[in-house]
Amino acid sequence: MLSKENSTKGPKGALSGGPMHDATSGMRFISDLGRSLLFTVHPKKVANVVSESIRSGTGASACAVAVNLQHIGLVCSVAETGASREESSFKKERFRRWLSLLPPQVSINNDNPEKFFIDGGEHSLEYVAPIHIEGTVKGAVIVGFGDAEDCTKEIRQLVDAATQMAAMSINLTSHYEATINSSITEAKEEHRKFTEAVLDTLPVSLYVIDRDYNIVMWNRHREIGIQGMPRDEVIGRNVFEVLAKYPKGKLSREFERAFRTGKIERIEQQTTDNDGVTRHWLVSKVPMRDEKGEISHVITVGEDITMRVEAIHAVGRAEKLAAVGRLAAGVVHEINNPLATISACAEALESRVDEGVFGTSPDVEDLREYLGLIHSEAFRCKSITNGLLDFSRVRTGNRNEVDLGEVIRSSANLVSHQKRGDNIEIVVEIEDSLPAVKADEGQIQQAIIALATNAIDAMPDGGKLTFIANSDGNRLLIEVRDTGVGIKTEDVSRIFEPFFTTKEVGKGTGLGLSVCYGIITDHGGRLNVRSNPGKGTTFSIFLPLSK
């Protein structure tokens, strides 16, 4: 098959010279190439093996194998005499234009070096053998010869045979690679879905922004609730646009600090929904770094800590109530005795003034006024000490089966006859067949009337006072609602503290709600409040049902 005229050309070991100059050496070359390709599993490695084998086997100056695969792209390998593979020497754009010719044919380029595919090589001729895969030309084997006489018919036939083997191997490995890539893609997709499921399952609100402040992640818990928004509506949008109701300057500073310092920052926040329910949140800003160590994203995690905060407040209230109780037990009786003496003396002096003992001097009227103040303030102190005594007493009371529906109706009737406020509309909504509760009727009525009295005081211009009672089968709920001025958000957590009051000086001792809280707690119940400033307040009493 090989020409003897070319037996002296080419390097030692080449088919054009040396021991590999006959048909046997050609068969050996094809056999060795086949074995080399047997365990090659990637198109790029196939191209490397074929280009190097053809270059060394034919004594060519250079050999390039290039193939354009749909799922991989352009794969290219160049082997040159005395040099390592350099893909940069291959004219990829020229090759892509050649592939666009339908159909590309076997060709020999020796008339114009500008048409060569291998740039900068020491060759004067290129032999181009198209690679056919599944009936379509996907690439080519390009062999560059330094002398046109080296490109003999036998050499071309050998290159054609190697090209066919390359086509079969590239086809097989590309399918293998596609399968592997598909499996990897499926695994990545499964991993992504699993990660999203984990983030959606976490009992926290979570979202992620990039350096441009665009949202790239938004978990399910960030979608629900009064503050929530659907994920499809926020992904890709600017965070300041999505969270427009938050103070932009404050939010911007938080993110800027996270990007600048790279430190985790935790912030406690408070929100109030449309029903006046106050929620407490612990918001964490967590910087996320890329493989270069630079901060690329910031993760925001919001944890609902309402129960924790309310528990802390409850413990604080209990401690304060206990402290007040201990104080009352020690000093109230001692205070009441001098107060009684002061009050009795003031009354005695008032009687002597009325009897004319002090004559008709103009100063007598001043004396009468001062004695009245002493008398009224003494009784005011008496009411405070009586309130203090409520903390020191054990509220066992007379616990019996009580129809709280009747207690509420009676309380509403008593409040209506107090004439405490003007233009107050009283509404009573009680569920039929309300379950019985084991309680002290007088104490529960005291708590309900105290809440209703506060509600009326919160409606100086009139409004609606509503009493509601119903049950969910496990506990009984009593609500006292008003449409008054409401409670400031910062005051909500303090209203059950002893001596805390929002009323004017002289109009409240700050003990009424504390006494209510103590009564309900002693009954094994819970007293909550929710308020919208300017819209009204609702106090909720939860009591366990009788078993």
**Terminal CA-CA length for the chain:** 107
* For range 408-434, the mean pLDDT: 85
Q: With cut-offs at 50, 70 and 90, classify the pLDDT of residue 326.
A: low
Q: Which helix (H) or strand (E) holds 292?
A: none
| Strand 424-430 to 463-471 pairing | parallel
Mean pLDDT, all residues of the chain: 81
* For range 8-33, the mean pLDDT: 59
Q: Tokens for 348, please give them.
A: 């005695």
CATH of 400-544 among 3.50.30.10, 2.60.40.10, 3.30.565.10, 3.40.1390.20: 3.30.565.10
Angle at 282 between CA 279 and CA 284, to 5 degrees: 145
* DSSP per-residue string spanning 407-434: HHHHHHHHHHHHT-SSSEEEEEEE-TTP
Q: Is the N-terminal amide bond of 103 cis, ω within 30° of 0?
A: yes
Of 178-182, 395-399, 413-417, the least confident: 395-399
Question: 455 with 467: CB under 8 angstroms?
Answer: no
Domain 202-304 and domain 400-544, same fold? Reply is no
Of 288-292, 293-297, 386-390, 462-466, the least confident: 386-390
* For range 22-39, the mean pLDDT: 81
pLDDT over threshold 60, residue 222: yes
Q: Give dist(CA 435, CA 187) in Å, integer.
A: 57
What pLDDT does residue 65 have? 94
Q: With cut-offs at 50, 70 and 90, classify the pLDDT of residue 2.
A: very low
Q: Give dist(CA 67, CA 77) in Å, integer.
A: 9
* For range 221-244, the mean pLDDT: 82
- Backbone dihedral angles phi then psi of residue 25, each to the nearest 5 degrees: -65, -35
3-state secondary structure of 497: coil
Query: DSSP state, 199?
Result: H
In the chain, % of residues over pLDDT 70: 85
Q: Which CATH superfamily is domain 202-304 in?
A: PAS domain (3.30.450.20)
Q: Give dist(CA 130, CA 107) in Å, integer.
A: 9
Which residues have CB under 8 Å from 498's CB, separation 6+? 320, 321, 324, 391, 510, 511, 514
pLDDT tens sequence across 144-170: 998 888 888 889 989 999 999 999 988
How far are the Cα atoms of 333, 397, 522 from residue 519, in angstroms, in the given order? 22, 10, 5
pLDDT over threshold 60, residue 6: no
pLDDT over threshold 50, residue 14: no
What is 4-179's CATH number? Answer: 3.30.450.40
Q: With cut-offs at 50, 70 and 90, classify the pLDDT of residue 467.
A: very high
Phi-psi region of 28 (alpha: psi -120 to 50; beta: other; left: phi over 0): alpha
What pLDDT does residue 5 have? 37
Question: 439 with 402: CB under 8 angstroms?
Answer: yes
* For range 444-473, the mean pLDDT: 89
Q: Tokens for 459, please give them.
A: 């409606």
Q: Which residue from 475, 484, 406 is spatially nearest to 451, judged by alpha carbons? A: 484
* For range 432-455, the mean pLDDT: 87
* DSSP per-residue string spanning 35-46: HHHHT--SHHHH
Q: With cut-offs at 50, 70 and 90, classify the pLDDT of residue 130.
A: very high
Q: With cut-offs at 50, 70 and 90, classify the pLDDT of residue 505.
A: low
Q: Tokens for 52, please give them.
A: 């190097």
Rounded CA Rg of the chain: 46
* For range 503-520, the mean pLDDT: 73
Can you list the alpha helix ranges (DSSP code H) found in 305-421? 306-354, 363-392, 404-418
| Strand 536-544 to 107-109 pairing | unpaired
What pLDDT does residue 187 have? 76
Using H for helix, E for strand and C for coil, what is the string for 80-114?
ECCECCCHHHECHHHHHHHHCCCCCCCEEECCCHH
Domain boundaries, the chain: 4-179, 202-304, 309-392, 400-544
Between 337 and 253, the higher pLDDT residue: 253
Query: DSSP state, 238?
Result: B
Q: Which residue from 75, 20, 81 is spatially nearest to 47, judged by alpha carbons? A: 75
